[in-house]
């Protein structure tokens, strides 16, 4: 029998709850109150203004990995960055149909009218490792993870062609970077993004966070007005 | 065009409100919204906002104040992650779990999408969500999945406003938010005459419950919940009042009675 409680925590019968539920409650309470004390109350006016309207200038697509929260690593404060996080920070092209990522892209670009889109990838990505180690055996059922990361197969193919002599780990590093490029190019398949990039209303950036040496490589996608193409520019590494 | 048009605009508004007193509440709400938008926009003036400078400053600060002051933690994290929590949070710029619940690197595997929704299990549609849950439950072996809704959610407002009758005005947004249509139906049935904002507030919380129920349609989630290795929790961050609510989805087999 499944019971759905939907009861607020102050009504929970303490005799019924297990020790672990209470630990969880305590931990979340402690975490939230720390935020409230250290951030929310000291900047209450800003939070009250934000409660009425958000107008972030940036949208970030990052990985769900617990080590690479874009707000934490790139220092975004509440209100600054509309954030999408999925496995391996993948953006699929428009022709692949609806994903949770492209519905969020549409909202951010057409409703919130963000001016910058950042695709942030990272080293030691489990999703990319799964992509690189996946063998496409016929007749075998892929797991959900494998099905999803296969959206990055073009990046995998390019990586294998260029660096099959390297170790598996080194190939994964390369694939992580190639995949960011593909996700960035897939952004352009959406007409409401492409048009805005061409008009200079939206800028697209890629960045790669290496969590082994804490470095950030970043670059910009620039629009070539002569041939309507796109190219990578302004590459920098911060370490 | 400067002060002239601003004064003219204010005069016109004042004149209108003298004639139509009943519009005062609406006018007050709209002026409040404009003030808030100008306030948040002015803190990052579009002329001087350089996203590259912004992230460089953010990253350098992170490296100096966090990474370099805790080499043991970051050394371990470079080898792998073992978060206890998987969190579904909204993509809204105001509700990052790293801020609101003070998560540090390594604490929580976080998926962020419009209105923090979890669609029912499907191998093809919205497979990205399934991939994330599968990775968290089977590979990372998280102990809790927490779905956190929030106040003034644009996605839920969309769910409540769109007719969702098949004539979509967006490419993807309507298709996505209708995942939580059962929440909308429930709220409308229970509070038909309430103000729209109140209905949205209820729907924000009900949608979390729909997502929690959808989590159980994933076989590996159901297995974990039955075995007691995985718990499903709901949360609600109310940034209007600076409050947080927490609850859980309980699963249990009642005592057996011989009848």
Per-residue pLDDT tens, chain B, 259 aa: give them: 455 688 888 888 888 888 888 888 888 888 887 777 676 665 555 557 899 999 999 999 999 999 999 999 999 999 999 999 999 999 999 999 999 999 999 999 999 999 999 999 998 889 899 999 999 999 999 999 999 999 999 999 999 999 988 889 999 999 999 999 999 999 999 998 899 999 999 999 999 999 999 999 999 999 999 999 999 999 999 999 999 999 999 877 788 999 8
Does A101 reach chain B within 8 Å, measured CB to CB?
A: yes
Q: Which residues of B touch A212 (CB under 8 A)?
A: 78
Can you tell me whether residue B230 is helix, strand or coil?
Answer: coil
**Assign residue B171 a region: left if phi > 0, alpha if psi is -120 to 50, beta otherwise?**
alpha
Annotated binding residue A172: no
Separation between Cα atoms, residue A193 and residue A109, nearest integer Å: 7
Nearest chain B residue to A202 by CA distance is B51
Is A171's pLDDT higher than 70? yes
Residue recorded with tokens 């994964």: A172
Q: What was the pLDDT predicted at B45?
A: 52
Mutate to test the interface with B, among A107, A133, A222 (most CBs of B within 10 A): A107
Q: Tell me the pLDDT tens digit for each residue of A58-77.
A: 999 999 999 999 999 999 99
Cα separations (Å) of A140 from A134, A137, B220? 11, 6, 19
Separation between Cα atoms, residue B240 and residue A49, nearest integer Å: 9
The complex's ipTM works out to 0.89
Angstroms from B107 CA to nearest CA on chain A: 6
Mean pLDDT of A27-51: 94
Determine, for residues A66 and B109 on separate chains, whether the beta-carbon distance falls below 8 Å.
yes
Write out residues 196-215 of A within 8 Å (CB-CB) of B. Answer: 203, 205, 207, 211-212, 214
SS3 content of chain B, % helix, strand, coil (to 5): 55, 15, 30
Determine, for residues A126 and B139 on separate chains, whether the beta-carbon distance falls below 8 Å.
yes
Helical residues (DSSP H) of A150-237, grouped into ranges:
153-163, 168-187, 191-198
**Of residues B98, B100, B239, nearest to A51 (C-beta):** B239
Q: What was the pLDDT predicted at A11?
A: 38
Supply the angle between the helices B196-215 and B181-190 in degrees, to the nearest 10: 140
Q: What was the pLDDT predicted at A156?
A: 96
Specify the pTM: 0.88
Q: Which residues of B touch A91 (CB under 8 A)?
A: none
Annotated binding residue A65: yes
Determine, for residues A107 and B114 on separate chains, whether the beta-carbon distance falls below 8 Å.
yes
Cα separations (Å) of A110 from A30, A104, A165? 37, 10, 44
Q: What was the pLDDT predicted at A20?
A: 58
Determine, for residues A54 and B248 on separate chains, whether the beta-carbon distance falls below 8 Å.
no
Residue recorded with tokens 């076989």: B219
Residues of B annotated as part of the active site: 90, 92, 94, 150, 153
Q: Which residues of A touch B173 (CB under 8 A)?
A: 103, 106-107
Q: What was the pLDDT predicted at A15?
A: 39
Can you tell me whether residue B150 is helix, strand or coil?
Answer: strand
Determine, for residues A69 and B54 on separate chains, whether the beta-carbon distance falls below 8 Å.
no
**Count of residues making up chain B:** 259
Say how many CB pairs under 8 Å bridge A and B: 295
Q: Which residues of B touch A194 (CB under 8 A)?
A: none
Q: Which residues of A touch B48 (CB under 8 A)?
A: none
Answer yes or no: are the C-beta atoms of A119 and A205 closer than 8 Å. Answer: yes
First to last CA, chain B: 83
Q: Tell me the pLDDT tens digit for each residue of A79-129.
A: 999 999 999 999 999 999 999 999 999 999 999 999 999 999 999 999 999
Write out residues 10-69 of A within 8 Å (CB-CB) of B. Answer: 20-21, 24-25, 28-29, 31-32, 34-36, 39-41, 44, 46-58, 64-69
Determine, for residues A98 and B129 on separate chains, whether the beta-carbon distance falls below 8 Å.
no
Separation between Cα atoms, residue A59 and residue A81, nearest integer Å: 5
Determine, for residues A78 and B78 on separate chains, whether the beta-carbon distance falls below 8 Å.
no
Residue B237's DSSP bridge partners are: B150, B244
Mean pLDDT of A30-51: 94
Determine, for residues A76 and B58 on separate chains, whether the beta-carbon distance falls below 8 Å.
yes
Mutate to test the interface with A, among B80, B81, B96 (most CBs of A within 10 A): B96
Using pLDDT thresholds of 50, 70 and 90, give the confidence band for residue A4: very low
Helical residues (DSSP H) of chain B, grouped into ranges:
3-19, 24-42, 51-62, 71-79, 97-100, 127-134, 154-161, 173-177, 181-190, 196-215, 219-227
Q: Are strands A203-210 and A215-224 parallel, antiparallel or unpaired?
A: antiparallel
Q: Which residues of B touch A46 (CB under 8 A)?
A: 39-40, 43
Phi, psi at B250, each rounded to 5°: -100, 140
Q: What was the pLDDT predicted at A70?
A: 97
The 8-class DSSP code of residue A79 comes to: T
Determine, for residues A118 and B152 on separate chains, whether the beta-carbon distance falls below 8 Å.
no
If 0-12 CB within 10 Å is exposed, 13-18 middle and 19+ buried, where does residue A45 land? exposed
Can you tell me whether residue B160 is helix, strand or coil?
Answer: helix
Nearest chain A residue to B238 by CA distance is A51
Nearest chain A residue to B85 by CA distance is A66
């Amino acid at each position: 029998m499944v019971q759905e409680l939907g009861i607020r925590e102050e009504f929970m019968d303490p005799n019924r709850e297990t020790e672990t539920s209470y630990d969880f409650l305590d931990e979340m309470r402690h975490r939230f109150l720390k935020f409230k004390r250290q951030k929310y109350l000291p900047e209450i006016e800003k939070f009250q203004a934000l409660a009425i309207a958000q107008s972030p200038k940036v949208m970030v697509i990052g990985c769900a990995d617990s080590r690479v929260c874009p707000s934490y690593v790139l220092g975004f404060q509440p209100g600054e960055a509309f954030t999408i996080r999925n496995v391996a920070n993948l953006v699929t092209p428009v022709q692949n149909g609806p994903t949770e990522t492209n519905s969020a892209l549409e909202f951010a670009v057409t409703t919130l009218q963000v001016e910058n889109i950042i695709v942030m990838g990272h080293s030691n990505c489990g999703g990319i490792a799964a992509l690189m180690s996946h063998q496409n055996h016929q007749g075998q059922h892929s797991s959900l993870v494998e099905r999803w990361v296969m959206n990055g197969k073009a990046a995998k193919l390019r990586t294998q062609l260029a660096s099959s002599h390297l170790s598996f780990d080194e190939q994964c590093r390369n694939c992580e970077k190639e995949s960011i490029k593909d996700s960035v190019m897939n952004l352009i398949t959406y007409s409401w993004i492409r048009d805005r990039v061409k008009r200079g209303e939206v800028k697209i950036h890629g960045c790669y966070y290496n969590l082994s040496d804490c470095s950030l490589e970043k670059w910009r996608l620039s629009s070539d007005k002569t041939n309507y193409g796109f190219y990578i520019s302004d590459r920098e590494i911060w370490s | 065009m400067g002060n002239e048009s601003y004064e003219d605009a204010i005069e016109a508004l004042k004149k209108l409100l003298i004639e139509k007193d009943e519009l005062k509440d609406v006018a007050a709400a709209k002026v409040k919204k404009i003030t808030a938008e100008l306030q948040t926009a002015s803190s990052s003036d579009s002329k001087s906002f350089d996203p590259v400078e912004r992230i460089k400053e953010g990253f350098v600060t992170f490296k100096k104040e966090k990474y370099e002051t805790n080499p043991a933690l970051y050394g371990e994290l470079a080898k792998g992650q073992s978060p206890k929590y998987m969190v579904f949070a909204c993509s809204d710029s105001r509700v990052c779990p790293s801020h609101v619940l003070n998560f540090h690197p390594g604490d929580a595997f976080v998926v962020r999408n419009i209105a923090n929704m979890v669609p029912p299990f499907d191998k093809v549609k919205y497979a990205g969500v399934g991939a994330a849950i599968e990775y968290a439950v089977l590979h990372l072996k998280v102990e809790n999945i927490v779905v956190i809704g929030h106040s003034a959610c644009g996605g839920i407002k969309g769910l409540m406003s769109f007719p969702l009758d098949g004539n979509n005005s967006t490419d993807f947004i309507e298709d996505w938010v209708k995942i939580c249509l059962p929440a909308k139906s429930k709220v409308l049935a229970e509070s038909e005459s309430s103000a729209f904002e109140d209905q949205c507030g209820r729907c924000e919380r009900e949608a979390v419950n729909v997502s929690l129920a959808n989590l159980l349609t994933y076989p590996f989630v159901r297995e974990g919940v039955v075995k007691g290795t995985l718990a499903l929790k709901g949360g609600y961050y109310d940034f209007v009042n600076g409050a947080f609510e927490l609850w859980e989805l309980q699963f249990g087999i009642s005592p057996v009675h011989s009848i």
